[in-house]
Amino acid sequence: MNLPDLVTTCLSALITHLSSYGLEHIFDLTKYFKSFSARSHMLLNGNTLSSLEIYRNQTDFSTKGSLFWTLDRTKTKFGKRQLRKWVGRPLLDKARLEERIEAVEEIKSGKNSKLERLRELLLKISYDLEKGLIRIYYGRVCPLPRMILCSPNPSGSALAQNSYRFYRH
């Protein structure tokens, strides 16, 4: 890795400090180092997001009329969250942006039967799947069968039924 002299000096001092705690080998895993210029997306500050009316308009500060409002055709909460991330953190690499556009267009076209089936299943889920999985991961939710039974439509979701069968066995 080719680092500027000041960064090398800083890392040297840091390693010397960490050696007093027995952690001097922490930087041996350099495969995880990334240059700040290797970012894949833009970082837009709050003023920029506000001035460009990305999430809210400047007249009455509602979402109506914002870029996000204009683009939003999502059907699920996690789809809306993903679009929000994409709009607020645009990709820098044109090739990756075009890949993303192609992927979205393929999903919208409905020509792929597997994607269409997945879309149908996702639309049947009445709860916020992503949020639920995060809560399960961090242990902030009741056991899975109770969560399924507490959901507004426990029997309507094929995913919920399959999850319950998997959990029981």
Q: What is the mean pLDDT of residues 19-32?
A: 78
**CB hemisphere CA count around 119 (13 angstroms):** 14
If you write DSSP's letter for every residue of 79-124 in order, what string do you get? HHHHHHHHHHS-BS-HHHHHHHHHHHHHHHHT--HHHHHHHHHHHH
**128 Cβ neighbours under 8 A, 6+ residues apart:** 76, 77, 78
Q: What is the mean pLDDT of residues 82-103?
A: 93
Query: Amino acid identity of 73?
Result: R
Q: Is the pLDDT of residue 43 over 80?
A: yes
Task: List where CATH 1.10.1420.10 sits in the chain.
Answer: 42-158
The more confidently predicted of residues 85 and 145 is 85
The more confidently predicted of residues 102 and 164 is 102
Q: Which ranges in 29-76 belong to alpha helices (H)?
A: 46-51, 67-71
CATH of the structural domain 42-158, one choice from 1.10.760.10, 3.40.50.970, 1.10.1420.10, 1.20.58.220 = 1.10.1420.10
Q: What is the mean pLDDT of residues 100-128?
A: 85
53 secondary structure, DSSP code = T
CA 61, 62, 66, 69: dihedral to nearest 10 degrees? 160
Which residue, among 4, 23, 6, has the nearest Cα to 15 in the 3D structure?
A: 23
The pLDDT score that the predictor gives to residue 33 is 66
Write the burial class of residue 73 (CB in 10 Å: 0-12 exposed, 13-18 middle, 19+ buried).
exposed
Model confidence over 127-152: pLDDT tens digits?
777 787 888 788 776 655 445 545 55
CA distance 24 to 145: 46
> CA quadruple 42, 48, 52, 54: dihedral positive or negative?
positive
The pLDDT score that the predictor gives to residue 168 is 39
Q: Can you give the pTM of this predicted structure?
A: 0.58
